[in-house]
Amino acid sequence: MIREHSYALKEALAGSEDENYIKGDVITENTRDSFVHNEEKKLVAAVGLDGIVIVNTKDALLVCHKDAVPNIKNLLHTLEEKGYDKYL
């Protein structure tokens, strides 16, 4: 399931704007102000990112810039229109 409020959660959990929120098997290099949530056993590596949201679940992978988080509502609508209800 794609979670719409990922970046708001990052801001609440990270101590500062420069810090990343990391959950699961994740490694970062030269990455700041990002939310990386990995629920899978494979490693997620983030290099040279700034303000990026990555949510990796068993069903889907979402990657977007923090400024595009409000557009996730549109994405969810498109998924519904195209019959991808299992991802909602």
Six-digit token pair at 26? 């994740």
Average pLDDT along the chain: 88
Q: What is the pLDDT of residue 2?
A: 47
Q: Using alpha carbons only, what angle is made at residue 52 by residues 76 and 73, rounded to the nearest 5 degrees?
A: 15
Q: Is residue 26 part of a domain?
A: yes
pLDDT band at 4 (very low <50, low <70, confident <90, very high): very low
Percentage of the chain with pLDDT > 90?
75
Q: Is residue 23 part of a domain?
A: yes
Q: Is residue 59 part of a domain?
A: yes
Q: Is residue 30 part of a domain?
A: yes
Tell which wins on pLDDT, 9 or 62: 62
Stated pTM of the model: 0.83
- Listed residue (17, 16, 38, 18) closest to 27, CA to CA: 38
Q: Is residue 47 part of a domain?
A: yes
- C-alpha distances out from residue 55 to 72, 81, 83, Å: 12, 22, 21
Q: Is residue 45 part of a domain?
A: yes
Q: Which one-letter amino acid corresponds to residue 87? A: Y
Can you give the residue range of the structural domain that contains 70?
6-87
pLDDT band at 16 (very low <50, low <70, confident <90, very high): confident
Q: How far apart are CA 81 and CA 41, in angstroms?
A: 31
Q: Is residue 55 part of a domain?
A: yes
How many structural domains does the chain have? 1
Average pLDDT over residues 23-43: 97
Q: Is residue 1 part of a domain?
A: no
Q: What is the pLDDT of residue 48?
A: 98
72 touches 56 (CB < 8 A)? no
